Amino acid sequence: MTFIRLAGLDEVPHSLRGAMVAIGNFDGCHRGHQHVFRGLIARARAAGVPALMLTFEPHPRDVFAPAPFMFRLTHADQKAEIAEALGLDGIVVMPFSREFSQIEAEDFVTRFLVGALNVRGVEVGADFLFGFQRKGTPAFLKDAGQRHGFDVEILGMLDEGDDHISSTRIRTLLGEGDVAGAAQLLGYHWFLSGVVVKGDQRGRELGFPTANVATPTGFGLMQGVYAVRAKLGGRLLDGVASYGKPMFNNERPPFETWIFDFDEDIYGRTLEVALLGTVRGQEKFKGLDELIAAVNRDAATARHILQATLPVSELDEKLGFFR
């Protein structure tokens, strides 16, 4: 079955009706979420029906904040990419708004789960809440399933160490520059994507032309230098990336990737960049000569990290950042 992506549930293809559906925000699609997805896929395959992710964009917390503020781990495109790599048959990205938040939990069930999707079963995490004033609890969903004729499975949180695997934990690790720790909880090396935009051209003048991707408000990655592998179309490209410009204008800096042995005009193209390791934190240098020497050292370190780093899971391999 070809992977299907829907923006809302106004027109659901016949092939997705009767699906098993996992519902949640799924920011990060981390190993805890993957526990839900794999359970869903197993149930769907046993029943001979599709397995579908139903998620929401933008994140509800951003809708109710004065301005977008969350450090998002995965936006809709990344969720879809991960869902397909995991073996799900499709994803529904429901547009979330204040108006949408007023839908009663029972109405959500009858309109979307029963009416639009005719779900065979639903799978959610134990902390999932939905509907107006978040009255759609796991117990409510179980009861609704009995009334409307679909199965509901509630899965507990997945632990790692002394705590649950959570998006908050992963944001904290990335905020500390712990790329390896974040990858262990995510089950893949964290990646970002964006359109390459023109920067101040300073890197090119110094001999290190960078592909710059704008960062959103609330971007919480530690400012520093990272070993990265980028996907550009069907190509894999190694490089070293910097986030933060302490010697220049450091207000909402872009994510800048110096792609090794590469000199092409890629403005306007989409670049996906996976962080395979941390080179160092951000530093200030006394002058440009000291900065240039540091970039060359960073590049050498990044090449070593890239050569030594292996996928952390089968999903990590399927996402396509490893040769």
Residues 94/100, Cβ–Cβ less than 8 Å: yes
State the pairing for strand pair 151-155/159-160. unpaired
Which among 81, 84, 123, 256 is annotated as catalytic? Answer: 256
Q: Report the first-to-last Cα separation within the chain, whole angstroms.
A: 26
CA 213 to chain centre: 16
Q: 47: phi > 0 → left, psi -120 to 50 → alpha, else beta; which?
A: alpha
Q: How large is the greatest C-alpha to C-alpha distance in the chain, in angstroms?
A: 71
d(CA 160, CA 186): 11
Residues 274/228, Cβ–Cβ less than 8 Å: yes
Between the alpha carbon of residue 169 and those of residues 76, 146, 178, 185, the distances in Å are 21, 35, 11, 9
Residues 277/305, Cβ–Cβ less than 8 Å: yes
Per the omega criterion (within 30 degrees of 0), is the bond before 13 cis?
A: no
d(CA 187, CA 31): 6
Residues 188/319, Cβ–Cβ less than 8 Å: yes
Residues 150/119, Cβ–Cβ less than 8 Å: yes
160 is catalytic: no
Strand partners, 193: 272
Residues 234/190, Cβ–Cβ less than 8 Å: no
Q: Which residues are catalytic?
A: 256
